[in-house]
Structure 1
Amino acid sequence: MKSQTSLLNKTLLSHFSGTIFWLTIVFMALNIIALPVSIWIATFDREMYPGYEIAENFLFQMSAGQMVIGMIFSAFLAMFLLNYLNDEGSSDFMHGLPVKRPAILIHALAAGVAAIVVPLMVTGVILLLERMIFIPEIALIDIGKWFLYAVFVHSVIFAIAIFAGFLVNGIFLHMQMIILALFLPLAVWGLTFASANVLYDGISSSFIEHSKPVLNATFPYLAIMQLYEGINFTHSLIWGAAAILLIVLSFVLYKYRRNEYVTSNFNFKWLKEILTAVTTVVGMLAMGTVVGLFIPISAAVSIFGFGVGAIVAYLVVEMFFQNSVKIQFSWKSAVFTLIVIILFWLAFIIGWTAYVNNVPSKEEVESVYISTDYNYYTDESIDEYFEEGFLFNDNKRIIDDAVTAHNTAIEDKTFPSIYTGAETTYLEIQYRMKDGSVMKRTFKTLENDSEAVQIVNQMTADKYDINSDFLANIKQHPEMTELWLFNNMLKADSSLIEDYKDNTDELMQYNPYIINNTGRIEASANYENNYESGMSSIYNEAILEQLAESDVSVEEVMYINQLSEMYIAELSEDEFNVFVDDYKGLDIKELSDKYELKSLSGDSKTDVLEQLNNGEFAPEGTKLLLYSYPEYTESEEDYPAETDFSILAIQ
């Protein structure tokens, strides 16, 4: 063994390298399979697809699997390298060598970094060969970026895992600490959000909306997302600095670490108490949420679930942390955990109660989206692919009504578990505030005839809801590759978008109850790296002209033929609003009896189908056709008519 002052001790370095040799070989093999081989398979038969193009960030997208494998490997790397600290004999032997502790750690880190870099270099060389032989689209600069980013990601995980190893004694506990260090903040917040959805109605349905800081603090998630969204220099710099700090702290902890503590599970008792309390809260929230979701009976049942969850979680956590199923019970630990649980629930109840009861002032709102339909669009997709004003309405009356509906919904809502889909209406409200922020709320327990729902329904009673029309608001985006109508049955030219917009004024003249509730068709747009879809109106002249010029008929695209059940409703102007509500609430028999619907058969069906195929619609009239899908059979259960029947306004 060389002297204590040697910069590099080959024997020590060889020892650490030998410890992780086979682990490194496995990582190298998995690396090659996860990236070069996967890329080869993905591009193997591309000659069979004319016009096939590789995405600009193809290499980064394909490297997600490799990156996950690398992060797991980096964690195991640290566990194996520091495993000598977990055995009293090995620890005494290593520290009895004429080598200072910082030097030992430096050699361990050097072996670990080499085990990360060498397999990545081999993978990079294979990628270069692939590029030279059959994938020239992968640029040299992209391979270089991938290599540097992969080294960075693996090194950050390695640094976190090394630091975690000096907090505990035992390879299993080390693994637990790594998992907690990486995912505990996300688990706490995610389960807090899930529990709030179980206990409260009126919370945003968007988890991402409130989770950006936590997700940015979850490095594995951030590392993978940056492969798709681009590398954020600020976030990467922060994590790089954090990794360096953790390595420095590891040297500090190692310097003051005492060998006689090797038999203790935790090197810091206070850390064990804190982690026990926090992970118990996580387990409590997990079990309570599951009980609330799968046994939706009452608030008492959910509360019971949280209570049982706390007890079970505490016992399980103690088993894991004590590394034994025969735990040593500590009143001090139990009392501290109980105090943390009480403080958590106080903060939880106060915070979420204030959250669900918070309604913005009308003067603070710039525009609003309010609907009883689920909104699948993200803020990013709306900004990128749609005109300003899509979904959101800046009309002062609409804003006033939305705020009123929001206040009413808070009064009308009930405990989240006490509702069924057939008896309740989904209500989503999104405010774009004048300060640039977005406020979202979702209600799921409002009864179908509640005052809040009636207010929302009345908001679209004055005119056509142009803000929600897909074709009326979509942009002529340079990355759009295809435009489809009627569930991908009719391909349209992108020029249809402008033609449709030119004819939207006519839609505004029709009866809003008819135009907003009948003749709805699906339109969709494919982009180079995205897909968007939404609803538009068949009554728009541009759609009818597109149909007339195509090889498909109206009965094909609207799923109607001789086998469909058909009814005719002739209504007065005053009956439309009530009819629409009944259509959504009554079954077809009840609806037919109440409005004396005329059932069609034989030649009557033929005449109606001919009318439809000729494009003879009449949204300005009072005659409606209710029809089922072909070969419809009446169900034994009573479903609202809108479940199986669609409506068209005809002449």
Structure 2
Amino acid sequence: MKSQTSLLNKTLLSHFSGTVFWLTIVFMALNIIALPVSIWIVTFDRELYPDYTIPENLLFQMSAGQIIIGMIFSAFLAMFLLNYLNDEASSDFMHSLPVKRTATLIHVLITGVTAIVVPLVITAVILLAEHMIFIPEITVTDIGKWFVYAVFTHIVIFSIAIFAGFLVNGIFLHLQLIILIMFLPLAVWSLTFAAATALYDGISSSFMEQSELVLTATFPYVAVNQLYEGINILHSLIWAVAAVAAILLAFAVYKFRRNEYVTLNFNFNWLKEILTAVTTVAGMLAIGTAVSIFIPVSAVSSIIGFGVGAVVAYLIVEMFFQKSAKIQFSWKSIVCTLIVIILFWIMFITGWTKYVNDVPAAAEVDSVYISSDYSYYTGETLDEYFKEGYLFNGDKRVIDSAVTAHQAAVEDKSFPTIYTDEETGHLEIQYKMKDGTEMIRTFQTLASDSESLKLVNQLHQNKYDMNSDFLANVKQHPDMTELWLLNDTILADVKLIDDYQAHADELLKYDPAIVNNTGRIEVNAGYKNNYESGYSSIYNKAVLEQIAASELTVEEMMYVDQSSTMYTAELSDEEMNTFINDYKKLTIDELADEYKLQNLSEDEKTEMIEQVNNLEFAPEGNKLLIYSYPEYETPEEEYPGGSAEFDFSILAIQ
């Protein structure tokens, strides 16, 4: 005859299993759709795409959706399993049973882990069947790795959600708290960064490189990101320890939890005050930043926006936390929130003011990248796909000029979200310091004729900017699958890289103003799991040979034809740099008047196109062809166009 304890244990397991049975069925169905079915669809008709090759890590790439579904399921699983704590009658009944609280929680955990593991096992079995029948590329090892990783990610979320359930009373509050635990640090930092960008000029444009710590503290991001970038053992261990700690804390909190507190929203009032204050700060930043961006009138409007945002955010947070639109105000909560807001703004203003005004000493800089163009590269891609020195210059003269330009930019910058009709320039500065750290600053409010931008333009007047040449610096990477030139019109062999680099030094013989600003062609490199692009020179012998071997004409590659507007200019050496600077500032009509450009007739256009198709370029000379895209129309007087640089390109011709 079974003991009473055994019967109670069986009854508890049956009760909790019944509570989440249909939720588990839904999870299993979504699992099967998200992974086995999706993979089957992707690989179903191979004859339709005979050249398609299945990536080595297809299973991990395809499992992002399943992992996200599983994490959401794990959170809801914990919410439903602990929902008995939110009802006074249910809580009293459960705790009146002759079962210790620790035993009850153990039954909850067993039920939850089973509900997670069983659907994953079934999914793994289906994947094994697919492997044996028609997708041999998905190995048994890959399936095993996926299974272990999926169980790990789901149980981490489940553990944290279980702990959160003992801090509040109410399934809706439980959901709110799970979301706050998972995403509040990332939300606060993202909004702080956005607010700083709206209030200060000179902040790095690279959010990801400034957010590594807070992203690591956001488990859903870590869980999905590791599918693509590989498992980070350290990060996984940290989160495993966090999951164990959450379960241990859940046991501790449950042991001392009082049933009479079930009518309260939060079991710990101090937790509510802290969450209210921090969440209010996040809401304040969101509303204030939106006002600063969409109503760019003055600094006063931004201050009002943040003030109104704080009030509105506080009211909304209280309504959510009190589960009622009829708020009961607490002076303690209001004072706590005000103190946190004041402390936040003190740290915000002090920290970001120091950040944007910080200029390194030239002696501390190892190399620098400084440009008035936008940079789309990360440190990881530079190290992986390019030779050391790509974009970055270690020449002492360049470093000194960059630091001087940086100091001038700090002095010339203005409030970024106040609209003016003045034309502004972009300045990107990235330092690699001798101590191994990096420093990135981006300026958006500098006048186009500011001292800092003039210094940047002067940096490339002495010689060809080899550091920014894509083909001169890209590596022969084993993962490179394709190499495209000239707006993806020429598919080049990867050996072009070696040929280009062999002839790269020839570009140093020409006028820097010509080779740095004319004949720039787009180059795109495709990799197995990545894509990189940049600019190189059409005047390189290897590129000219590649173009000559193509079946396409140059006019097709460079988007120029009889309908294009064309000018020619013959300039002295002294005029060349000034012309290039004006080309970036003046409209085409102003440029034509200033330098007496010759507007080509239809017959002259025909001759010029033939000359271009014959690759009759002359970077060693002083004659330039300035041409527009096809069907270019001159802007009307009341709607003047931008600078000539936007609509016209330049080639050095014979």
Settle same-fold status: TM greater than 0.5: yes
SS for the counterpart of 2:418 is coil
* Counterpart in the other structure of 1:132: 132
- TM-superposed deviation, 1:46: 2.1
* Counterpart in the other structure of 1:437: 437
* Counterpart in the other structure of 1:641: 644
SS for the counterpart of 1:112 is helix
Distance 1:517 1:192 in 2: 38
Distance 2:74 2:624 in 1: 66
Q: Deviations over 1:267-289 (max 9, x none)?
A: 00111001100000000001111
Q: For the structure 1 residues 422 and 531, does the alpha-carbon distance in structure 2 shift closer, same or farther, using more than 3 Å as the test?
A: farther
- TM-superposed deviation, 1:525: 1.3
* Counterpart in the other structure of 2:186: 186
Aligned pairs for 1:121-200 within 5 A = 121-200=121-200
Q: For the structure 1 residues 146 and 7, does the alpha-carbon distance in structure 2 shift closer, same or farther, using more than 3 Å as the test?
A: farther
Matched, 1:525 2:525: yes
Distance 1:141 1:605 in 2: 63
- TM-superposed deviation, 1:602: 2.0
> After alignment, is 552-561 or 301-310 more displaced?
552-561
> After alignment, is 20-29 or 8-17 more displaced?
8-17
Distance 1:585 1:163 in 2: 60
- TM-superposed deviation, 1:47: 2.7
Matched AA of 1:613: N
SS for the counterpart of 2:398 is helix
- TM-superposed deviation, 1:422: 7.1
- TM-superposed deviation, 1:3: 6.3
Matched, 1:22 2:3: no
* Counterpart in the other structure of 1:342: 342
* Counterpart in the other structure of 1:34: 34
* Counterpart in the other structure of 2:413: 413
Distance 2:352 2:467 in 1: 31
Matched AA of 1:221: Y
> After alignment, is 108-117 or 493-502 more displaced?
493-502
Aligned pairs for 1:278-297 within 5 A = 278-297=278-297
Contact 2:85 2:262 in 1 (8 A): yes
Distance 1:529 1:85 in 2: 47
* Counterpart in the other structure of 1:498: 498
> After alignment, is 456-465 or 605-614 more displaced?
605-614
Gaps of 5+ in 2: none
Matched AA of 2:257: R
Matched AA of 2:595: Y
Aligned pairs for 1:583-598 within 5 A = 583-598=583-598
- TM-superposed deviation, 1:50: 2.4
Aligned pairs for 1:575-614 within 5 A = 575-614=575-614
Q: Deviations over 1:419-453 (max 9, x none)?
A: 56971111100001111111111001011000000
* Counterpart in the other structure of 2:555: 555
Q: Deviations over 1:544-602 (max 9, x none)?
A: 11111221122111111111111111111111122112111111111111111111012
Matched AA of 2:430: Q
Distance 1:493 1:122 in 2: 46
> After alignment, is 41-50 or 212-221 more displaced?
41-50
Distance 1:30 1:96 in 2: 38
Distance 2:465 2:125 in 1: 57
- TM-superposed deviation, 1:48: 2.4
Matched AA of 1:62: M
SS for the counterpart of 2:47 is helix
SS for the counterpart of 1:204 is coil
Distance 2:524 2:457 in 1: 26
Aligned pairs for 1:74-473 within 5 A = 74-419=74-419, 423-473=423-473
* Counterpart in the other structure of 1:59: 59
Contact 1:418 1:445 in 2 (8 A): no
Q: For the structure 1 residues 386 and 69, does the alpha-carbon distance in structure 2 shift closer, same or farther, using more than 3 Å as the test?
A: same
| Equivalent residue pairs, number | 651
- TM-superposed deviation, 1:542: 1.3
> After alignment, is 545-554 or 356-365 more displaced?
545-554
- TM-superposed deviation, 1:403: 0.5
Matched AA of 1:148: V
Distance 1:592 1:402 in 2: 33
SS for the counterpart of 1:484 is strand
Consecutive aligned runs of 4 or more in structure 1 exceeding 3 Å deviation: 1-8, 419-422
Distance 1:355 1:24 in 2: 50
Distance 2:187 2:7 in 1: 42
- TM-superposed deviation, 1:131: 0.6
Contact 2:276 2:314 in 1 (8 A): yes
Contact 2:297 2:419 in 1 (8 A): no
Matched, 1:650 2:653: yes
Contact 1:371 1:456 in 2 (8 A): yes
What percentage of aligned pairs have identical amino acids?
71
SS for the counterpart of 2:56 is coil
Distance 2:8 2:219 in 1: 32
Distance 2:373 2:608 in 1: 30
- TM-superposed deviation, 1:77: 0.4
SS for the counterpart of 1:532 is strand
Distance 1:420 1:226 in 2: 44
Contact 2:167 2:267 in 1 (8 A): yes
Distance 1:341 1:316 in 2: 16
Distance 1:464 1:293 in 2: 39
Contact 2:487 2:558 in 1 (8 A): no
SS for the counterpart of 2:630 is coil
> After alignment, is 17-26 or 39-48 more displaced?
39-48
Distance 1:262 1:479 in 2: 59
- TM-superposed deviation, 1:415: 0.3
Contact 2:563 2:632 in 1 (8 A): yes
Matched AA of 2:653: I
Distance 2:522 2:57 in 1: 31
Contact 2:276 2:318 in 1 (8 A): yes
- TM-superposed deviation, 1:51: 3.4
Contact 1:3 1:99 in 2 (8 A): no
- TM-superposed deviation, 1:6: 4.8
Distance 1:362 1:584 in 2: 29
- TM-superposed deviation, 1:223: 0.5
SS for the counterpart of 1:503 is helix
Matched, 1:625 2:628: no
Alignment RMSD (CA, Å) = 1.4
Q: Deviations over 1:131-182 (max 9, x none)?
A: 1111001110111111111111000000000000000000000000000111
Q: For the structure 1 residues 98 and 187, does the alpha-carbon distance in structure 2 shift closer, same or farther, using more than 3 Å as the test?
A: same
Gaps of 5+ in 1: none
Using structure 2 for the length normalisation, give the TM-score.
0.98
- TM-superposed deviation, 1:248: 0.8
- TM-superposed deviation, 1:8: 7.2
- TM-superposed deviation, 1:4: 7.7
Matched AA of 1:507: L
Distance 1:98 1:409 in 2: 73
Q: Deviations over 1:505-551 (max 9, x none)?
A: 22111111111111110111111221111101111111111111221
Q: For the structure 1 residues 160 and 3, does the alpha-carbon distance in structure 2 shift closer, same or farther, using more than 3 Å as the test?
A: farther
Using structure 1 for the length normalisation, give the TM-score.
0.98
Q: For the structure 1 residues 421 and 525, does the alpha-carbon distance in structure 2 shift closer, same or farther, using more than 3 Å as the test?
A: farther
Contact 1:431 1:438 in 2 (8 A): yes
Q: Deviations over 1:198-243 (max 9, x none)?
A: 0000011111112111111100000001111111111111111111
Contact 2:525 2:533 in 1 (8 A): yes
